[in-house]
Amino acid sequence: MPDQDADPELEARLPEGEVFEPPESFVEQANVSDPDIYDEFEQNWPECWERAADHLSWDEEYDTVLDDSNPPFYEWFTGGELNASYNCIDRHVEDGRGDEEALEWVGEPTDETRTYTYSELQREVEEFAAALRDRGVEEDDIVTLYMPMIPELPIAMLACARIGAPHSVVFAGFSADALATRMNSADSEYLVTCDGYYRRGDPLDHLEKTNEGLEGVEHEVSDVVVVDRLGDDGFGHDLAANQTDYDDLVAEFEGAEVEPVPRDAEDMLFLMYTSGTTGQPKGVKHTTGGYLSYAAWTSHAVLDVKPEDTYWCSADIGWITGHSYIVYGPLALGTTSVMYEGTPDYPDKDRLWEIVEEYDVNQLYTAPTAIRAFMKWGKEYPDQHDLSSLRLLGTVGEPINPRAWKWYYTHIGDEDCPVVDTWWQTETGGMMVTTLPAVNDMKPGSAGPPLPGIDANIVDTTGEQVGAGEAGYLTVNNPWPGMLRTLYDNDERFIDEYWTEYSDTDSSDADDWVYFPEDGATVDEDGYITVLGRVDDVINVSGHRLGTMEIESAIVGVEGVAEAAVVGGDHELKGEAVYAYVITEDGYDGDEDLRERIIAGVEDAIGPIARPEEVVFTTELPKTRSGKIMRRLLEDIANGETLGNTSTLRNPEVVEDIQSKVSND
């Protein structure tokens, strides 16, 4: 395997610290190319956000752009009414664009693809919306969607949106327990799932996992719709009494017309569960008007999406990136969105590049973890394909190191595509910090300035702005349309998690409220923000957010485990990997059997993405005198770094013992 470290030519051509200008050919055609946009937004705030709302068709015009009378419960575009499904589908058909492609679905098996024009998507969505209604789904009922990357997932999302039923998508790679926790939390009585899907050529049984999860749901689940994805490769499960086959159900509603329900701008469009500091995942609530405007606006301004483009975001729809930038943003703009079922290395390591070539993809939006893998596989894979259709590249999910950035820029973009490194979160709904591709120079490794209208600052623990180059905490001072409105059914936790750190929580003046995303960052003299990573107990494995507490509670649930501490250690491909330090109960050995049971316990509770890279058995964990586990120290040990001061420990002798057990390869 070629080692990119040993690519002196590349390193020499693109030295660290170099700044790249937007390519002229890109600037000439860009949606947003006027640098005055920053001033315009600042001087005209919050009315500037009408520019985002203008990307949508409203059934009822809004009266007020921002109602900030009750911070941090901000409301956007109040009085306005709209429907997300209408905005993502019908209006494009009404504009005479019904025959243009909305979704290009590429299955993992190389001979399987499906194209949906906007008219076809409309028909499918209306039929499934009619079916959901028939099953009893009413406006405001939360429908859980537990599906992999198959077309029925966006179809179900849009069908829910059409009838005003918020969806809660659970990533298909999550475990049965994770499904149950989320359905319980949202009191969701409806589920859409599938029989299985393909992973690297093999069919996976998804219905069995679903059924296991349903056993853990505490309320009655009235209906489960099951998509038959695998056909003859299926596992032959019989459907239970409350389960219906998707195709059979939809066949009953052939040609059905379902009027899109006008929704209040502030009505919930969906819930998305994400990891936080405590064990329980948080149900992030997004609304119809603000979220959709923001997803559409950022797709337009940052990803430069145009109706005639073929745009591809390689994320999974089970994460926020897929919601905003596979489904809602691109479809609201009427473009063609590509959706790929499989992994980038199946059947070979050039699969993505084959798809880019085949579909003439114009924008590619992916994650640093994927780019690091491409780098490791070598440039001969992209080199086999004509990638000249690409006009813009994007990354999201975790910090990108300059070397990976440069590789992407050079070998995928041919030094002719701007790269947008976009910082944002499940909670922010859309991008917050990134260069505008035709306006700002690019600095590899640094996301860039906050977007127009976004007031992001790097501050110290007292809230004072730090100087250029100093590490601090990322904060956001003004609200924005795409922000979460609350955590489902838990306003108190919403305030606790995001607003207590830097706000005057007794104040009813919005200026006294500051959003804290729990990321560390630095800022340079040009205002470019470099995000360093989470400062809470959340780790980022391959761009996926995992709570260390969730993993710890899974491990402690395993028979024979007394105590566990989980930290993120550096990992070449994944960015971070899970390191678990475990104390066994008396009478149990830290042996292979226990290690395997711990790994299985984590996979059952969360999913394979949370699988510990290393399980280290120890008799004690390093603790401060007040009894707190010194996680920093455990991280340093995982990374094989020289340890700082251990004198504040109650039990300094344990450190050496643990160090000797970590492999650091």
Please, what is the minimum distance in Å from the beta carbon of residue 402 to ligand 6R9?
Answer: 13
How far is it, in rounded angstroms, from Cα 369 to Cα 351? 16
Q: Site for ligand 6R9 (CB under 6 A): which residue of 162, 263, 534, 574?
A: 534
**Residue 275: CB minimum distance to ligand 6R9, A:** 8
218: tokens are 């505490």
The residues in 186-225 that bind ligand 6R9, with binding defined as CB under 6 A, are none
Q: Kindly state the smallest distance separating residue 29's Cβ from ligand 6R9, in Å.
A: 25
Q: Which of 143, 172, 192, 320 binds ligand 6R9 (CB under 6 A)?
A: 320
Compute the chain's Rg from CA coordinates. 24
Query: Measured between alpha carbons, how far is 297 from 538 in angstroms, rounded to an integer?
Result: 29
In whole angstroms, the minimum distance from the beta carbon of 653 to ligand 6R9 comes to: 34
Q: Report the residue number, 349 or 545, with the smaller CB distance to ligand 6R9.
A: 545
Q: How far is the CB of 498 from ligand 6R9 (least distance, A)?
A: 11
Of the candidate residues 423, 480, 488, 617, the single one contacting ligand 6R9 (CB under 6 A): 423
Cβ closer to ligand 6R9: 320 or 364?
320
Among 309, 519, 537, 576, binds ligand 6R9 (CB under 6 A): 519
8 Å CB contact between 458 and 522 = yes
CA distance 620 to 651: 8
Structure tokens that stand for 267 in this block: 């009505």
* 207 versus 476: smaller Cβ distance to ligand 6R9: 476
Instruction: Determine how many CB atoms are found less than 10 A away from the CB of residue 13.
Output: 12
Contacts (CB under 6 A) with ligand 6R9, residues 543-562 = 543, 545
- Give the nearest distance from C-beta 447 to ligand 6R9 in angstroms: 5
User: Residue from 72, 397, 452, 590 that binds ligand 6R9 (CB under 6 A)?
Assistant: 397
C-alpha distance from residue 528 to each of 283, 447, 457, 522 (Å): 31, 7, 10, 8
Q: Does 321 bind ligand 6R9 (CB under 6 A)?
A: yes
**Which lies closer to ligand 6R9 via its Cβ, residue 443 or residue 534?**
534
- Segment lying near ligand 6R9 (by CB under 6 A), choices 57-65, 341-349, 421-429, 580-588: 421-429
Least distance from C-beta 519 to ligand 6R9, angstroms? Answer: 5
Q: Closest approach of Cβ 342 to ligand 6R9, in Å?
A: 21
Between 341 and 421, whose beta carbon lies closer to ligand 6R9?
421
399 binds ligand 6R9, rule: CB under 6 A: yes
Please report how close the Cβ of residue 545 comes to ligand 6R9 at its closest, in angstroms: 4
Q: How far apart are CA 59 and CA 264, in angstroms?
A: 10
State in angstroms the smallest separation of the CB of 274 from ligand 6R9.
5
Q: What phi, psi does 493 have (nearest 5°)?
A: -65, -35
Binding of ligand 6R9 at residue 520 (CB under 6 A)? Answer: no
- Total residue count of the chain as it appears in this document: 665
Q: Does 540 contact ligand 6R9 by CB under 6 A?
A: yes
Place of tokens 């830290």: 590
197 or 365: whose CB is closer to ligand 6R9? Answer: 365
Residue 193 or 426: which CB sits closer to ligand 6R9?
426
How many helices and strands, by DSSP H and E, does the chain display? Answer: 23, 29
Burial letters 164-195, b for 16+ CB under 10 A, else e: bbbbbbbbbbbbbbbbbbbbebbebbbbbbbb
Closest to 270 in 3D by CA, of 496, 429, 492: 429
Residues of span 453-472 touching ligand 6R9 by CB under 6 A: none
Contact region for ligand 6R9 (CB under 6 A) — 67-75, 98-106, 200-208, 416-424?
A: 416-424
Beta bridge partners of 205: 196
> Tokens 């004509």 — which residue?
386
Tell the smallest beta-carbon distance from residue 446 to ligand 6R9 (Å): 9
- Least Å distance, CB 607 to ligand 6R9, is 14
Beta-bridge partner residues of 580: 566, 615
Question: Per rule CB under 6 A, is residue 303 in the interface with ligand 6R9?
Answer: no
Residue pointed to by tokens 């419960």 = 73
Minimal distance in Å, beta carbon 590 to ligand 6R9?
A: 32
Q: Which of 211, 389, 425, 646 binds ligand 6R9 (CB under 6 A)?
A: 425
Name which of 433 and 561 has its Cβ closer to ligand 6R9.
433
Show the DSSP H helices in 591-662 as ranges: 592-605, 631-638, 653-661
What is the Cα 516 distance to its own chain's centre?
A: 18
State which of residues 447, 459, 558, 638 lies at the interface with ligand 6R9 (CB under 6 A). 447
- According to DSSP, the residues that pair with 202 across neighbouring strands are 199
Q: What are phi and psi of 304, to 5 degrees?
A: 55, 35
Binding pattern for the stretch 82-121 against ligand 6R9, x by CB under 6 A and - elsewhere: ----------------------------------------
Tokens of 502: 């830097």
The residues near 116 (Cβ < 8 Å, ≥ 6 apart) are 101, 102, 103, 105, 124, 151
Half-sphere exposure of 141 (CA within 13 A, CB side): 21
For tokens 């409220």, the residue is 513
Residues 241-300, interacting with ligand 6R9 (CB under 6 A) = 274
Q: Are 446 and 532 in contact (CB under 8 A)?
A: no
Q: Is cis: bond before 347, omega within 30 of 0?
A: yes
- Return the sign of the alpha-carbon dihedral for residues 659, 662, 664, 665: positive
Question: What letter represents residue 142's amino acid?
Answer: I
Q: Which of 487, 425, 428, 478 minimizes the C-alpha distance to 168?
A: 487
Give 253 or 516: the residue with its C-beta nearer to ligand 6R9. 516
Taking CB under 6 A as the criterion, the residue among 422, 435, 522, 553 binding ligand 6R9 is: 422
Measured from the CB atom, is 318 or 453 closer to ligand 6R9? 318
440 contacts ligand 6R9 (rule: CB under 6 A):
no
Query: By CB under 6 A, is residue 314 in contact with ligand 6R9?
Result: no
If one counts every other C-beta atom within 10 angstroms of the C-beta of residue 602, the result is 29
Range in contact with ligand 6R9 (rule: CB under 6 A) among 417-425, 563-571, 589-597, 645-653: 417-425
How far is the C-alpha of 560 from the C-alpha of 292, rounded, in Å?
48
We find the least distance from the C-beta atom of residue 517 to ligand 6R9, in angstroms, to be: 5
Question: Segment contacting ligand 6R9 (CB under 6 A): 77-85, 229-237, 352-360, 530-538?
Answer: 530-538
Tokens at residue 269, please?
A: 């469009």
* Tokens standing for residue 99: 């025959």
Q: Which residues bind ligand 6R9 (CB under 6 A)?
A: 274, 319-321, 396-399, 421-426, 447, 517, 519, 531, 533-534, 540, 543, 545
